[in-house]
Structure 1
Amino acid sequence: MAEGAAKSSNDTGLFDRIEPLMADLGISARELSLRITGKPDLVRDIRRKGHKPNADNLHAMANELGTTVEYLMGGTDDAEQVFSEVGVSDTHVDWRGSERVEPGIPLVGTGDCADLEVCDTSGQMVRVERSSFDSDYHVRMIARPPALRGARDLYAIYFHGESMEPRFAPGEVGIVDPGRPVRSGDYVVVQINTGDSDEVATVLVKRLIAMNAREITLEQFNPALTFTLERTRIARIHRILPQTELLFG
């Protein structure tokens, strides 16, 4: 009996705070209950059975009545809700900043071409695989890896032939960055001029072994050989980006 009396006393205090707020708003216990739970009995059970709402229902009740949970539970005598003077804008704020549209990378026209006769490092004349090259013709644009955002003058090529297998298989695509300096050990696109002008006549895709003011030394894998070219024949030499730089910049 004492236990039932204690429960009724505690929860009557909750209802005593709910009742005048409902009256001020002109809503009934049934209507308030329906707004909170979709059922008509929540407020009635507080008054008659001493049931206490769960936390979610208590918060919802405070919002409906324009007060606070602390007031309903007897923690304060101030029924007014406190509003911050600092508003939160409904406007979406993009924390990443503005999106910059990055251009694609042009896949330039390349193709198989007749072999080129060069001098290997032993002094013998040998023939190496070469490709045609048309920088003004773009086969298509390919998507730019995120790590290369902002990089300028990039272009891509199809690998042709078998001279650089297994490193590059025919039909694979390589991305070339003319802005990065070449170093020994890099895979490179060597643009060879016509001999009497800087116009590009053909290209080689090889591995750079060494270069100086007079010549460059290149390597191919299939068949395996190392050879040299005079620097006067080189219009440009550009670096093919390895996978680590495509992924991480």
Structure 2
Amino acid sequence: MLKHADIWAALDALARDHGLTASALARKAGLDPTTFNKSKRITREGKARWPSTESVAKVLEATGASMSDFVSYIEGATATAATVATIPLIGFAQAGDRGFFDDAGYPAGGGWDEIPFPEIGDPHSYALEVSGDSMEPLYRDGDVVIVSPGAGVRRGDRVVVRTTEGEVMVKQLVRLTAKRIDLASINPAHSGRSLASEEVAWMARILWASQ
């Protein structure tokens, strides 16, 4: 029996094979970037929603895939659905906006995209897509970093830090005390930061990066 999740998984797989996120695939097809977001896959009543035939047709045209190709993706999604997990994804530039994180630094709201990623043991893990050159040479434009709010943080770890003012940064932890957090810049062209503990809303460890 064909399931809603199989169709969505097929779209995700098609996007991945073209080096795109689901939102980037939607843009490539001339659709609203949120068309394939997780929040659009269910109705307000909580029922599963099918993607429209028009959106699927536009995606096939934009990627050059045939309907038989898409059916193959659906069949592959059916076979692997039980083993493939997904985690939330947003662009790094969006991470400072309101509504994407709760007070504990966990993903919140419906504006997140999703990408497939193996289970890492933290149900609150998420991905950030790097934009610009402020984190070079370690992280470049388009790289994706996987963040785990539940992972322990130690000296030398690369971390995502959000201040109480809403600033979000990627740094390397130099020192952590009860009163201060000292951070080194990833990009040597940018200075490090020393923040009072009360200035930091949350800090989460980077576990992995695509490069």
TM-score using structure 1 length: 0.43
Larger Rg: 1
The structure, 1 or 2, with the larger RCO (C-alpha pairs under 8 Å, 6+ apart) is 2
